[in-house]
Amino acid sequence: MLLFIVWSVSAQQCDQPLKAARFDCHPEPSVTSEKCLARKCCWQPQMRSMIQLFKNTSSNSAGINVPSCYYPRDFPTYQVKTNEPTAFGQRLTIIKQQSTYMPNEILSLTVDLIYETAQRFRLRIYDSTKKRFEVPLSVPVIQTKVNVTDYDVSISQKPFAILVKRKSTGITLFDSSVSPLIYADQFIRFSSYLSSPFLYGLGEHRQPLLINVTNEWRKLTFWTRDTPPVQNNNLYGVHAFHINLEKKNNTPNNFHGQFFLNSNAMDIDLQPLPAITYTTVGGIIDLYLFTGPTAQDVIQQYWDVIGKPTMPPYWSLGFHLCRYAYNSIDNLRAVIKRMHDAQFPYDVQWTDIDAMSSHLDFTYDKTTFNGLPDLVRALQAEGKHYVNIIDPGISSTQPSGTYLPYDDGLKRAIFMTKFNSTQPIIGKVWPGLTAFPDFTNENSIEWWTNVAATFHDIIPFDGIWIDMNEPSNFVDGSHVGCTNNSLDNPPFVPHVLGNTLYAFTVCPSAQQALSSHYNLHNMYGYFEARATNLALKTIRHKRPFVLSRSSFAGSGQFTAHWTGDNNSTFEDMYFSIPAIISFNIFGIPNTGADICGFGLDTTEELCTRWMQLGAFYPFMRNHNAGKDQDPAVFSWTAQQIMKQALLMRYSFIPFWYTLHHQAAMASKTLVQPLHFEFPNDDNTIGIDQQFLIGRAILVSPNLVSNTTVVHAYIPQDVWYEFPSGSQVKDVGIFTDLDAPLEKINVHIRGGFIIPMQIPGDNLMMGRGNPFTLLVAQSISGNATGNLFWDDGDSLDSIETKTYNYFEFSCSLNTLTINAIVANYKDSPMRLELVRILGVSKPVMSVNVNGKEHNGFFYNIPDQILVVHSLDMDMLVQSIQKIEWTTAH
């Protein structure tokens, strides 16, 4: 049985029969009754019986991690003093009569209720008298209240609380009345009800896609950190955004989202009430609420605030190959040669820090990598591309006048400085003692561009990989430690790995142009990505490709992302799927994981399975630190399987490229979970071992060693197996799919037309190859699709409309090709073949633009019509048609 002890505070005020409704009054570790009662909070420790301990089960229906110290009902909080209408909505003044348990509480606050759009509500709470740090993110500024909204907002006067409900269903979207508001200088804490215990988002963390707090309290920490991705740790990026499922009987499932615009270290606690609690150590409360109602609507509304993702260069959609420790140019040449000899398509060769001279940025080792500039130019002559790595730590110990990045940076004063000093703060990274550029200093962009351009004159790299940019530091804080001030040692430290804010990074007290590192740490990778993106535009005058490990809300405007230093395990392969889906939600859709694993040595089975899965990552790179694992190093059989996976990817590149265009222009994700597309099918909730490419391709990889079956869910719709084209009979159920080593299960959804292309040796060499169309008919015989096509590299092709855009539609035995925009003439747009799936009756004849066409055949068992030998120039006229007649 459970033992309950109430030490003080009014028993009536602590009477909380629903344990899920307890809100933690002592979020710091090592809580005791004395510490709890000193805060005038309720103390009721949870003690499990011996039987429950042995069974390792929850001690009550509310779940595990129930807080022992929680707020009483009469805990002091704010009340409304004034409430005035404004052009943007309402402005309140709220006051608190007494301080509570955190130092420097702010007792008078201003609250702005901003009705930004019909689907977007913004809540800002800030100091009424003193300007506080605010996130330097460019967001829409709304000065006029929208009159018609999807939400209702009401205010509780005493105690102060905000309630937001969806008008159409009455479901609560936000309710801050559940817990007291604490607002101190370095400790801000507020809570809200959740609409359900089912959430997506809140990254970057290694976790399943669905965050389900039905039975437990969960704590997620946000403070960028260089650490291999493991569960329950703060990782490389910060994205305090989530999507919450709304469930109500007899109504469709809706979604809404919350974005906490705050760049300070924070914890987010989730509990099975269900409720969410935000705790941050600085800034202000700046919370966005997006009402959806679909998940894609929520994402679009979020991206409208943080910025849409960048359009990548076309060549970056191919296969990338890298290794930490090629160690010599001879080894690098050997890899390139065996990939060529084995006839693997690939587009981008990378090098890691081992190619540098003494790990110095913007150098290469002229002994072990002698001839690297010529090798890069030779690759480029074959249509391939080259990306090199740059770390933010700039060596500070080279002889004066010998190392441009440090000498010029020191001259321009662009390095982060020590607290109350003009001297750079010095840490230690790969090259030894290093200074850290302050990318919030606008002078750093010209400096970064100049040093990169100087190196580009030596090695004409095509993209830049920015790593270690949390920023990582091999000593805690600096080589001489940190200060004892409250920036380096705040009164509350979120549950960060290492227990201090300076563990394995720079002192929070370090100064940057815009503020202290304490406020800007989580945005370091964001500002470096921005500077690198701008530098590449200036240097190459082409569309930039940047890959960043660290990220923040809005980083997708400048960079792609990979999920960091994973391991060669099947578990790591699985976790790549929820990570990539989540980063699509976060506005960085061009994301991938190190295929076959970065750490440990892979196996042939694992690498084969992972290459198949990786062929459906938006960003596809094989990168590792162990033994060679490029595809050409494996057995002949494994090579053929991997090659088929790569050829499958390359054939889908026109579809991928069009999805990138839709992401950049219309805020649509490249990859999404089944639940977002089938929101009212509860079987799809939380599925993260399968995923959708766009809305049309379902991928169901084998993620378990030594198995040849995948237990997968096929949603209720029309689906066709790929590449066979046969229609799936059992839908709306979980089923076992045959999955031998040579097969990854891919299904095409009825109602969609997918543009494809015959692959070449690499993307640039294959750009002129003929296109094909895969038409997957719905049950009614309809389908739609589109294709965006430009030169793949220009900065302004979209703005100048120097591109081609086609819309495809299928209806009533007619495929229509409509050239909406036809301004790009430098690449052939020849359609060679069309495969039409789901043609239920034998085809008797085919006409192309009104003329009989004999190049076709009809597969009776699989009901597939193939129209070949078309040689159709899709630009020759605005509308072209392929029609077929069937037997009665």
Contact 268, 240 (CB under 8 A): yes
**What is the pLDDT at residue 36?**
97
Q: Which two structure tokens, joined as six digits, stand for 100?
A: 């509570």
> Burial, 433: exposed, middle or buried (Cβ in 10 Å; 0-12, 13-18, 19+)?
middle
d(CA 104, CA 249): 46
Q: Which of 267, 304, 352, 467 is catalytic?
A: 467
For 660-886, CATH number out of 2.30.30.100, 3.40.50.300, 2.60.40.1180, 1.25.40.10 equals 2.60.40.1180
* Confidence tier at 10 by pLDDT (50, 70, 90): confident
Query: What are the contacts of 654-657 at 24+ separation with CB within 8 A?
Result: 654/755, 654/756, 654/757, 654/771, 654/787, 654/789, 655/693, 655/694, 655/696, 655/697, 655/754, 655/755, 655/756, 656/317, 656/618, 656/693, 657/314, 657/317, 657/788, 657/789, 657/792
Q: Which two structure tokens, joined as six digits, stand for 120?
A: 């977007």
* Confidence tier at 63 by pLDDT (50, 70, 90): low
Region of 179 please: left (phi>0), alpha (psi -120 to 50) or beta: beta
**What is the pLDDT at residue 12?**
85
Alpha helices in 678-748 (DSSP H): none
Output phi, psi for 575, to 5 deg.
-65, -20
pLDDT more than 90, % of the chain: 95
CA 334 from centre of chain:
34
Q: Which CATH superfamily is domain 79-306 in?
A: glycosyl hydrolase (family 31) (2.60.40.1760)
* Confidence tier at 65 by pLDDT (50, 70, 90): confident
From residue 345, alpha-carbon distances to 69, 384, 445, 636, 646 in Å are: 60, 10, 36, 16, 7
Q: Which of 246, 304, 470, 565 is catalytic?
A: 470
**What is the pLDDT at residue 46?**
78
Q: Which two structure tokens, joined as six digits, stand for 511?
A: 């100064």
Question: Is 467 considered catalytic here?
Answer: yes
- Mean pLDDT (whole number) for 700-709: 98
Q: Which two structure tokens, joined as six digits, stand for 373?
A: 């500039």
CATH fold label, 11-70? Spasmolytic Protein; domain 1 (4.10.110)
Question: Is 470 considered catalytic here?
Answer: yes
d(CA 417, CA 438): 9
Question: Is the pLDDT score of 53 beyond 80?
Answer: no
Question: What is the residue-averaged pLDDT of the chain?
Answer: 96
Question: Is the pLDDT score of 126 beyond 90?
Answer: yes
Helix (H, G, I), strand (E, B) or coil at 333: helix
- Mean pLDDT (whole number) for 752-780: 98
Buried/exposed 348-375: b ≥16 CB within 10 Å, e otherwise: bbbbbbbbbeebbbbbbbeebbeebbeb
What is the residue-wise DSSP string for 437-458?
Answer: B-TTSTHHHHHHHHHHHHHHTT
Question: Is the pLDDT score of 56 beyond 70?
Answer: no
Please state whether beta strands 89-95 and 79-85 pair in parallel, antiparallel, or not at all (unpaired).
antiparallel
**801-845 pLDDT per residue, tens:** 999 999 999 999 999 999 999 999 999 999 999 999 999 999 999
Contact 211, 259 (CB under 8 A): no
d(CA 863, CA 731): 18
CA 409 from centre of chain:
32
CA 752 from centre of chain:
26
* Confidence tier at 249 by pLDDT (50, 70, 90): confident
d(CA 797, CA 311): 11
What is the residue-wise DSSP string for 650-669?
Answer: HHTHHHHHHHHHHHHHH---
pTM for this prediction: 0.97
Question: Is the pLDDT score of 61 beyond 90?
Answer: no
Handedness of CA 467, 470, 476, 480 (dihedral sign): positive
- Mean pLDDT (whole number) for 696-722: 98
CA atoms within 13 Å, Cβ hemisphere of 185: 10
Neighbouring-strand partners of residue 851: 848
The one-letter code for the residue type at 218 is R
Question: Is the pLDDT score of 62 beyond 80?
Answer: no
Question: Is the pLDDT score of 6 beyond 50?
Answer: no
For 314-394+416-438+458-477+528-651, CATH number out of 3.40.50.300, 3.20.20.80, 3.40.50.720, 2.60.40.1180 equals 3.20.20.80
Output phi, psi for 611, to 5 deg.
-65, -35
Alpha helices in 837-884 (DSSP H): none
**What is the pLDDT at residue 2?**
33
**355-398 pLDDT per residue, tens:** 999 999 999 999 999 999 999 999 999 999 999 999 999 999 99
d(CA 115, CA 142): 8
* Confidence tier at 47 by pLDDT (50, 70, 90): low
Question: Is the pLDDT score of 8 beyond 70?
Answer: no
* Confidence tier at 189 by pLDDT (50, 70, 90): very high
**What is the pLDDT at residue 48?**
52
**555-598 pLDDT per residue, tens:** 999 999 999 999 999 999 999 999 999 999 999 999 999 999 99
**626-684 pLDDT per residue, tens:** 999 999 999 999 999 999 999 999 999 999 999 999 999 999 999 999 999 999 999 99
**What is the pLDDT at residue 884?**
98
Q: Judge if 79-306 and 660-886 fold alike in CATH terms.
A: yes
The helix or strand, by DSSP H or E, that contains position 11, with its residue range, turns out to be: helix 11-14
Contact 264, 522 (CB under 8 A): yes
Show me where the domains of the chain are located: 11-70, 79-306, 314-394+416-438+458-477+528-651, 660-886
**14-25 pLDDT per residue, tens:** 998 899 999 999
Please state whether beta strands 560-562 and 591-592 pair in parallel, antiparallel, or not at all (unpaired).
parallel
